[in-house]
Each structure stands twice: as C-alpha cells, then as structure tokens.
C-alpha cells in the first residue's frame, strides 16, 4: 500500500485512513510516527494509529547509523576539550536556524555560535562524561545526551544535541547545555 502523507498542517481533503474525516486538520509528526488529528478549532480530537506509519524498531539505532553518529559525537567531544575551533565549527550546521542554549548564553545562528567559540576560555575544558545516550531515528536523525563532570567543580553538566545527516555529513542543528548542583 502506497503511503500518503498529509501536509504538516492543512485541511485534509478526505478520509484516507480509518478514523479520519474530511474537513479535519491533521499534524503529521513524521513519516514514521503516528498522526495527531485536530478538530476545526485546533483542539486535539484523537491520535490516529496506522501500523504503516508507526516507528519500526528496525529504524531505531540501526548499527551503521549509530556508529556514524557516535563517531561524530566523540569527534566533537575531543574538539571541545582540545578547543579545536575549526572542528567545532565544522560539526555545527552552518545556518541561521542553528540554536545553542548554553549554561549562560542563548545563541541563535551559526555566527553567534562562532563568536562564542572564539571568545570562550581555552583552559579548564577537560571533563568526564557519564550516562551518554545516543539514539538514532531512521538514517538521518539522532539525539545525543550526556552528563559531564569537571575536576574541582561541584556542578553536573548536562548536554543534549540534535544531529541531522546533511549532504555534507552529520551536523548538530540544536544543542543545550546546562549545569546543576551535584
């Protein structure tokens, strides 16, 4: 059966799935996920499950894809503690829509991220990672999360990155770093 994907938000032309009615608004979360159906006033009507659209376990953490992202993640980590600005820059998406929320800064766009990297201290960057989890979804999307600890600090760092495989390779499109008391 051929898959028919609805627009991200638009009036559904007619019933194409069991339980979907003409005139309903629908959100397609992604081609591998369920669809959420909204009524005409944008209130949640129900979630439509379609076995063909549900994420298949085989699409999560495919070994070859996971190996690629893991290598990119650890390449980034080595560049971070070594203050290799060229590699750090190369691993972020070069776009104004790239976002990095840091422990004390909100950076919107690759230019702001580059400026931050150029001006940050280049000493005391060593850290130990703990509870690193990298999960891939399909062949081109991944999320990496980790905790980090720096010697002499009583705070625990937390880092999350969204990685997307672009024509130029795996790139971070969004990142969030925060610090909490241990």
Q: How does pLDDT run across 140-170, given as a tens digit for each residue? A: 999 999 999 999 999 999 999 999 999 999 9
Say what the pTM is.
0.70
Q: How confident is the model at residue 182 (pLDDT cuts 50, 70, 90)?
A: confident
Retrieve residue 127's tokens.
């850290």
Q: Residue 51 pLDDT > 90, yes or no?
A: no
C-alpha dihedral, 29 to 35 to 38 to 42, nearest 10° = 0
User: Which CATH fold topology does 58-181 show?
Assistant: Nuclear Transport Factor 2; Chain: A, (3.10.450)
Q: Which run of H or E residues covers position 34?
A: none
The residues spanned by each domain of the chain are: 1-54, 58-181
Measured CA to CA, the distance from residue 17 to residue 34 in angstroms comes to 12
Per DSSP, the chain holds a count of helices (H) and strands (E) of: 3, 10
């Amino acid at each position: 059966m051929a898959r028919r994907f609805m627009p991200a938000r638009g009036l559904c032309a007619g019933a194409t799935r069991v339980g979907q009615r003409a005139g309903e608004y629908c959100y397609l979360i992604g081609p591998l996920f369920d669809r959420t159906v909204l009524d005409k006033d944008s209130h949640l009507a129900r979630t439509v499950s379609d076995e063909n659209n549900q994420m298949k376990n085989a699409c999560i953490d495919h070994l070859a894809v996971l190996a690629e992202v893991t290598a990119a993640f650890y390449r980034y980590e080595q560049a971070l503690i070594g203050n290799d600005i060229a590699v750090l820059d190369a691993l972020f998406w070069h776009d104004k829509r790239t976002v990095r929320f840091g422990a004390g800064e909100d950076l919107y766009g690759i230019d702001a991220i580059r400026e931050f990297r150029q001006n940050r201290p280049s000493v005391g960057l060593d850290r130990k990672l703990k509870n690193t989890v990298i999960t891939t979804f399909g062949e081109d999307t991944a999320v990496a999360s980790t905790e980090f600890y720096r010697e002499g600090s009583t705070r625990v760092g937390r880092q999350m990155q969204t990685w997307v495989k672009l024509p130029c390779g795996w790139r971070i499109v969004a990142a969030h770093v925060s610090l909490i008391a241990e």
